[in-house]
Structure 1
Amino acid sequence: MTRQRERYGQFYEDDFGLSALAGKLASATAPDVAQALGSAAEVAADCEGEGAVELGADIRYLLDSGLPDETLRAAWLAATHERFDPADFGTDLHGWLNRLADLYPARPRKKPQVSWLSPPDPEFAEEDLRKAVVAEVRAAAPELRRTLANSGAGGTLPATVPEALEAIAGQADRETGLRLFLRILKAWAVPVGKQQYDRLMELDTKLGYPGPLVYDGLDIQWLPLDPTRRDRSGDFGISVLSARFATYWEEPTAREGVALAATFDDSAETPGTAAAPLFEDAFRLLNSPLSADTLTTLWLAVSDRGLDIDQLGIDGRNWLRLIADVCEERLRDVAPSYTPVVGPVRTALTQPVLEAIDAATPDLATRTVSAHRLGIPGTAAIDAVTEVVTHADPDLGYRLFLRLLNVLSVPLTTNRYAGYRALGERFGYGASLVPDVIEHLTFEN
């Protein structure tokens, strides 16, 4: 039997198959056979009944593997946090799996894949997957054994859990082994280092899993928050906040919009990564000599009037205080030990940013932000961004300048675009920040 790989994220929002069943039982209180069968029915019913495909496949792989009952029982008990042991109900693990197999036999999928998404990585061979899963089990084994021993479970499980997981990944099915491994890490709150987490997320991507299958409930040992880093995957801080308000389909309230943006941490980032630089940008502007009117004009311009704070009776400084307050709330929630800090201003790059703005001024000055409604002259927007560069922070000023180019749809030669990318590299931006904001404006010289 060979598993037909799918882009599982098309079908499921989180875990699926036997590992999802183990998760349900791990969170239950003393489940009996009837409850366990009811949980199995819920897993099978997922995605309009397609959940039965993965459940049946997982069960069949384990039954056909030839692995001894003791090995399968070790993995099962660990995955269910010892909440459901078939031996308590007069059967061994093989007997329990056979009962499930009668209800959910292995069968092909009925629901077709969504055609516009590519299939899982065809180069990711079964042997490569086996090696990757076994390597991750071995990497986590010392911490897993320590956690089980400290919890009192180490003496009750009938075989070492890491060995059982290796056997399942090697002799039964790599994907079943991976998902049971993740379920065990979560069930026992085993600490997972950031590097291993990144490797697990790479497996997630190659296998087409829904992202939460890996990270939801995993005890990730995140790196400390560092708002001075500029190499995240895209834009950040007030510049990305302005872009979000410019593109909201259903306009949220001021606070709701900021709160939403403050939670937009990438799955690879320490919780609070979005809020920390947003707070830093707001703090810098609040502690600058820029007037409330200038700050109001600045926001309205770079957000393309995505939130009309002037029409809501909110001046620029009050708006920035609201942003800072919301960010501090978010940081207290997800990183209570973190004290917001503001790094040094990169003054060495002030002049290159001002030169970039000067070169673009003729194009910007002839345009109007939101020309159809309460327009803002391009010259006023340029002046506000220039004040940010000169009196607050050239880094923030440069990101807002890029936003202004985007808002006003200024055509860019490939040479000028290359210069903007080079300046972004000097600030340490991630490779996608400048392209994401302005690459679509370029044309051949």
Structure 2
Amino acid sequence: MARTDAQRESAGRQEFIVDIGLSWLAMKSGYPVWLSAEDHDRFVPSSGPVDVQLRLVEDAGAEVGRTIVLQIGEDVRRLLASNLPDEVLRTVWLGATKRYFDPAQHDLTGREWLRRIEAAWTTGIRRSDARFLPSPPQPVTDANLRSAVLEQIGAVADALEQAAVRGSVPGLVPALEQVVDRACADVGFRLFLRSMKAYFVAIDEDRCDAFTALGERLGYPEFLVDDNLNVG
């Protein structure tokens, strides 16, 4: 499997990474909830929720390692290069963020929202490298990996879908499966993991081991798969 810019950047050095790329952004999207009133006034733009989310993207390079930041653009461009419907893109974002931020409430389709993320990502990267040009996206389309990811999603599909329906995101599991099948097995698996963590869906040790083994096949950082999974 071809290595992405983010994977090449991380080669030869160790980082404590619990997520990367678009799934990392989904994890961080609700951060203003945890700010004190003083920090909220200091750090959160007053121009609205869309700008709050995009500021996260632009400022990511100052907060986390380049491995995480480069993968944001890679993930977004993998999805934009696909023929996935807007509603699928919106649904997987809502599922991964536990519906904290809904682009549709701000007159943005799923694809338009990803384009806004891509633009903010480019702006942030070029603060430190004005001539930065991203490589063409390299989606993971290997049939065996796609099958393996779909197998793991299928194993917990009922529990995840029930949790998502309770959280007002019906159709999350079919949407995640479409991402895997029609866009990228890697992005689909990480958004699936982020959704499992968002809804705290319980799994046993054997299922966690299966997730971890698949993460190793995809070259994930050591802690990405099991950090905050509900394993009992």
Fold agreement, TM-score > 0.5: yes
Q: CA deviation at 1:91?
A: 1.2
Post-superposition offset of 1:129: 1.2
Query: What does residue 57 of structure 1 align with?
Result: 74
- The 3-state SS of whatever aligns with 1:104 is helix
* 209 and 184 in structure 1: CA distance in 2 versus 1, 3 angstrom threshold: same
C-alpha separation in 2, matches of 1:50 and 1:211: 14
| Closer, same or farther: CA 193–37 of 1 in aligned 2, 3 Å | same
- Residue number in structure 2 paired with 1:4: 4
Structure 1 CA distance for aligned equivalents of residues 14 and 89 of structure 2:
27
Q: Specify which of 140, 144, 152 is matched with residue 156 of structure 2.
A: 140
TM-score after normalising by structure 2: 0.77
Give aligned pairs, total.
Answer: 201
C-alpha displacement of 1:108 = 3.9
- Aligned pairs for 1:316-355 within 5 A: none
The alignment yields a C-alpha RMSD, in angstroms, of: 2.7
Report the Cα offset of residue 183 of structure 1. Answer: 0.3
User: Does the 8 A contact of 1:29 with 1:83 survive in 2?
Assistant: no
Pick from 95, 99, 102 the counterpart of residue 116 of structure 2. Answer: 99
Contact 2:87 2:109 in 1 (8 A): no
Deviations 1:260-304 (A, max 9, x none): xxxxxxxxxxxxxxxxxxxxxxxxxxxxxxxxxxxxxxxxxxxxx
CA contact (8 A) 2:54 2:120 kept: no
**Contact map agreement 2:202 2:230 (CA 8 A) in 1:** yes
Q: CA deviation at 1:72?
A: 1.1
**Residues 94 and 101, structure 2, Cα contact 8 Å, conserved in 1:** yes
Q: Deviations over 1:238-267 (max 9, x none)?
A: xxxxxxxxxxxxxxxxxxxxxxxxxxxxxx
- What is the rounded CA distance, in whole Å, between the counterparts of 2:70 and 2:81 in structure 1? 16
Residues 125 and 90 of structure 1: is their aligned pair in 2 closer, same or farther, counting only changes over 3 Å? closer
Amino acid at match of 2:152: E
Equivalent pair of 2:200/2:230 in contact (CA under 8 Å): yes
CA distance in 2, matches of 1:160, 1:53: 29
* 1:78 alignment partner, one of 95, 100, 104: 95
More helix by share: 2
Q: Counterparts in 2 of 1:90-239, with a 5 A limit?
A: 90-104=107-121, 107-108=134-135, 126-149=142-165, 152-153=166-167, 156-157=168-169, 159-221=170-232
8 A Cα contact 2:179 2:185, kept in partner: yes
Contact 1:133/1:174 (<8 A) preserved: yes
Q: Say whether residues 1:68 and 2:95 are aligned partners.
A: no
Tell me, in whole angstroms, the C-alpha distance in 2 between the residues paired with 1:44 and 1:68: 30
Measure, in 2, the Cα distance between the counterparts of 1:189 and 1:27. 18
For the 8 Å contact 2:92–2:176, the answer to whether it is kept is: yes
Residues 44, 132 of structure 1: alpha-carbon distance in 2 compared, 3 angstrom cutoff: farther
Alignment CA distance shift 1:142-1:210 (3 Å)? same
3-state SS of paired residue (1:205): helix
Change (3 A) 1:125 1:36: closer
Query: How does the TM-score come out when normalised to structure 1?
Result: 0.42
Where 2:225 maps in the other structure, the secondary structure is helix
Q: AA paired with 2:219?
A: G
Q: Take 1:101 and 1:125, find their aligned partners in 2: how far apart are those partners?
A: 22
- Gaps spanning 5+ residues in structure 2: where? 35-47, 123-132
Give the secondary-structure state (helix, strand or coil) at the position aligned to 1:213. coil
Flag the structure with more relative contact order, 1 or 2, with Cα contacts below 8 A and sequence separation at least 6.
2
Mapped contact 1:53–1:108 kept (Cα < 8 A): no
How far has the Cα of 1:207 moved from its partner? 2.5
Q: What 5-or-longer segments of structure 1 have no aligned partner?
A: 110-123, 222-445
Question: Whole-Å Cα distance in 1 between the matches of residues 201 and 112 of structure 2?
Answer: 29
Corresponding residue number in structure 2 for 1:384: none
- Correspondence for 1:33 among 43, 50, 67: 50
Q: How far off is 1:125 after superposition?
A: 8.0
Aligned position for 2:41: none
Q: Give 1 or 2 for the bigger CA radius of gyration.
A: 1
Contact 1:168-1:176 within 8 A present in 2 as well: yes
Q: Name the CA shift for 1:28/1:139 in 2 (closer, same or farther; >3 Å).
A: farther
Q: Which amino acid aligns with 1:19?
A: S
Secondary structure at 2:224 match in 1: helix
